[in-house]
Amino acid sequence: RLNVLVGHRYRVLIAMVLILLSLTPQSVMAQDLFAPPSPVKVSVVSMVDQTTPDGKFVLAVTMDIQKPWHVNGSKDQIPEVLNYLIPTQITIPDKPDWLAVGRMQLPKTHVLPVTYTGTPVDLPVFEGKVSFFVPIWVKKDTKAGQYTIPVQIRYQTCDDKSCLAPKTESFEVLVKVGDKQIFAPAMVLEQFNEFDTAALDDFTESSGNLGESGSDSVVFDAFGLSFSLDGSGLGGMLGLLLMAMVGGALLNLTPCVLPVIPLKIMLLHKSAGTRGKGMLLGLFMSLGVMGFWLALGIAIAGISDFSQVNQLFQYPLFNMGMGILICLLAIGMCGLFSVKLPNSVYNVTPKHDTFTGSVLFGIMTAVLSTPCTGPFMGAAAAWSATQPALVTVAIFAAIGAGMAIPYLILSAFPALAKKMPSAGPASVLVKQFLGLCLLAAGSYFLGVGLNGLLTQPPDEPGLWHWWMVCGILALAGYWMAYRSIKLGGKRPAAITWAIIGLLITVGSLNMGRSLTAKGPIDWVMYTPDRMAQAQRQGKVVLVDFTAQWCLNCQVLEHQVLYSEKIVDFLTSDRIVPMKVDLTSANPDGADLLQQAGRVTIPLLVIYDADGQERFKSDSYTVGQVSQILEQLTGSDPAH
């Protein structure tokens, strides 16, 4: 009987355990069913499916935050009075020794007034869908194989009145290391649209917590001089501001500013003999320069869709507007506004010897400089775009101040222009000639804008606007020759200037013929089908990303790709020269640029016969391009 009783008890105990075990999952499921869903979804993806030893790529940590929730900013962004809040932190715990981690690019924060302390406090937060970009460098001695990168994200979800408990999520990203780099599918690469590729070009290993943006260094590399500055301290920040000013000053030496050389000359000319007014004109012109760069910094800091310095030139209507404005300034410089127009119009004429005109000239100079990037400026601007808004604006203001300083210096020494005629018909001729040169610059931007509107990708924009530009320059030269003889007769100086004018006319017409010629390369305009066809045929494909508003693109194309050695390669039957023109909206071209891991041009990418990327650069030389083409084709066409 005892055995039966014990056996019965054991059976009851076992049954109870089984019942509890069967109920536990149901209880857990019920709890999950009625628990509110998390307002934040986190994902981590890699830009590449496979990389190489010494290869660089990027991880994107994306947080999709539902309204009205937000997550707190990074540690150095949270105000001291709210230091008890949990900052958003992204770390790579137990960092593998085969990789190095670069300076993380943070998304832009939004300032939100919160009342956690009982009084409103401005708190930088991340809202909506944001991505953090973590550059990764695979060390040179890494062997081929599969590797995992551990990523940990710690954050706190809040609304404007209360916060949820902090949360930590862990991920593992699988990365293959092989003999070539293979990018992720296009759908994945869409998450990297806002990544600034300068972080890969100027890779610096990050120190400390990846969530602390201010602890990272900025690397400068120009003219063979390489150094880094840490922007987290006062000294480093002052150094960055100084480098931004130097970069701004060097912008005056880039090709983008060449169209405003007449403005500089006329500023000096009007300053001669009137030091006080000359200084004021120089000051107002400098204010125009600094005002534009300050506005650009505010736009980049506060407008999520505005992320590139030269982004404005990607819009045809902006180019047309710029062209019209430059043409109006040119006509005003020639003095044509003083004829037949009412006094009310004359009072607002943007002439070079007025304060209003000087401000407009300054703005014009700054706007025209944006398609170019000066030494030291690019690294400082790229770093500032990942910082709090105040730092971003300060760096861009420093760039503007650096660009404006030369105009203040020139206006302080008006004697440099005293040899120019200051009165009489000769002075009028100088203004008319320089005004026509500026009119040619305006017609260039007007033509580029019209081409952008009239051309449908993949067709290449027309070159007709070059005849308009060169025709106006030829007219300027002819006018100089005609008026010089008319005013000076047979005097040697008049004859000399007449000859110079005729040479300008002949040279301009010859330049128009050269710039509108087909060129030595038979370009194939890019489409996905044409690219696929070339790869099926086993061809090496050279892809040139360009745009008519990109002056650096034009310089590289004519100096490098049109050189005799490169032309010999590109006219062979083993290479397909393909062009992606981004003058106007080109979705297919933009997708290919995205697949190449870049968001800016100029860019040259060379794919081998298997369709794998073998070369990529935004500042290439004849030697670099010829070397890679010779390796891929196995021969030098010159031999």
Given a cut of 50, whether residue 439 has pLDDT beyond it is yes
Q: Say whether pLDDT at 12 is over 50.
A: no
DSSP per residue, 558-626: IIIITSHHHHHHHTSTTEEEEEEE-SS--HHHHHHHHHTT-SSS-EEEEE-TTS-EEEEESS--HHHHH
> What is the second-level CATH architecture of the domain 524-633?
3-Layer(aba) Sandwich (3.40)
Share of the chain above pLDDT 90, in %: 18
* Residue 176 pLDDT: 94
Predicted confidence at residue 261, as pLDDT, reads: 58
| Total-model pTM | 0.50
Residue that wins the pLDDT comparison between 78 and 233 = 78
Q: What is the model's pLDDT at position 47?
A: 93
Q: What per-residue confidence (pLDDT) applies to 94?
A: 78
> Quick check: helix, strand or coil at residue 63?
strand
Computed over every residue of the chain, the mean pLDDT equals 76
Please state, as a whole number, how many other Cβ atoms lie within 10 Å of the Cβ of residue 67. 9
Least confident among 88-102, 135-149, 357-371: 357-371
Residue 48 and residue 175 in contact, taking contact as beta carbons nearer than 8 Å: yes
* pLDDT band, residue 636 (cuts 50/70/90): low
pLDDT value, residue 379: 53
Residue 32 clears pLDDT 60, i.e. is over it: no
What per-residue confidence (pLDDT) applies to 567? Answer: 93
Write out pLDDT tens, residues 298-354: 776 665 455 445 556 667 787 788 788 778 767 776 765 443 444 443 344 445 566
Of 78-82, 217-221, 243-247, 570-574, which gets the smallest average pLDDT? 217-221
- Scan for tokens 């000051």, then name that residue: 283
Domain boundaries, the chain: 1-35, 40-213, 235-420, 421-517, 524-633
Looking at the predicted structure, is the pLDDT value of residue 21 above 50? no
Give dist(CA 527, CA 531) in Å, integer.
6
Mean pLDDT of 176-196: 89
Indicate if the pLDDT at residue 402 is higher than 90: no
Which CATH number is correct for 40-213, 3.90.1150.10, 3.40.50.10860, 2.60.40.1250, 1.10.260.40?
Answer: 2.60.40.1250
Which one has a higher pLDDT value, 60 or 611?
60
Chain segment 571-629, per-residue pLDDT in tens: 888 899 999 988 877 888 878 886 776 656 778 999 988 887 888 877 788 888 888 89
Mean pLDDT of 514-536: 88
